[in-house]
Amino acid sequence: MEKINVLFTQEEIEKRVKELANELYEKYHDEEVTFVCTLKGAVFFACDLLKNYKGDARIEFLRVSSYEGESSTGKINLKLPLKAENIHGKNVVVVEDIVDTGYTLNYIRNYVLEMKPKSYIECTLLDKKSRRVIDINPTYSGFVIEDLFVIGYGLDYDQKYRNLPYIGVVVKE
């Protein structure tokens, strides 16, 4: 295994995820929320967010892809669609792992809004604000990070490292 520099420890992630879950609950209280987890990267984050969320919650899954290796291609492919009846009239929270150029989130936003949810927001764990190409800002974000390629806690490098309990950066020799 390559050397990895830890950016956020398991404890730091747990603390921030709890805060986000509480902030979301403050917003919705008794209203049911449909969390849309984007596969595969956001799956660890979505599970922890939901486990800490005190209100009524449903979960749906969406898969789009734009990345190959370490770079976004900008061309988004829908790999696993949502069912409109699970989104229409619902309070939707899209759960993302990371927003980089913004192409993916922009695609997801347009795609979900076409299904006419009752309300719509996004919650991303990580935000690489300085890399944005599309002018889009997620409603909630866990951590704003620099322009680094990060792995762990769901995030991969060519499908590796998703199972790390922390977020880190691979040190290139």
Chain residues binding ligand 5GP by CB under 6 A are 41, 66-67, 72, 96-105, 149-151, 155-157
For the bound state, the minimum distance from the C-beta of residue 89 to ligand 5GP, rounded and expressed in Å, comes to: 27
Pick the closer one to ligand 5GP by CB: 93 or 99.
Answer: 99
Tokens of 2: 């390559």
Q: What residues are annotated to the active site?
A: 100
For the bound state, the minimum distance from the C-beta of residue 79 to ligand 5GP, rounded and expressed in Å, comes to: 12
Pick the closer one to ligand 5GP by CB: 33 or 167.
Answer: 167
For the bound state, the minimum distance from the C-beta of residue 148 to ligand 5GP, rounded and expressed in Å, comes to: 6
Q: With the CA atoms of 127, 114, 35 and 12 taken in that order, what torsion angle do they form, in degrees rounded to the nearest 10?
A: 0
For the bound state, the minimum distance from the C-beta of residue 135 to ligand 5GP, rounded and expressed in Å, comes to: 12
Extract long-range pairs of 42-48: CB within 8 Å, 24+ residues apart.
Answer: 42/95, 42/96, 42/97, 42/125, 42/154, 43/154, 44/153, 44/154, 44/162, 45/17, 45/95, 45/97, 45/125, 45/142, 45/153, 45/154, 46/95, 48/13, 48/14, 48/17
Pick the closer one to ligand 5GP by CB: 72 or 139.
Answer: 72
Pick the closer one to ligand 5GP by CB: 101 or 141.
Answer: 101
Question: What span, in angstroms and rounded, lies between the C-alpha atoms of 165 and 152?
Answer: 6
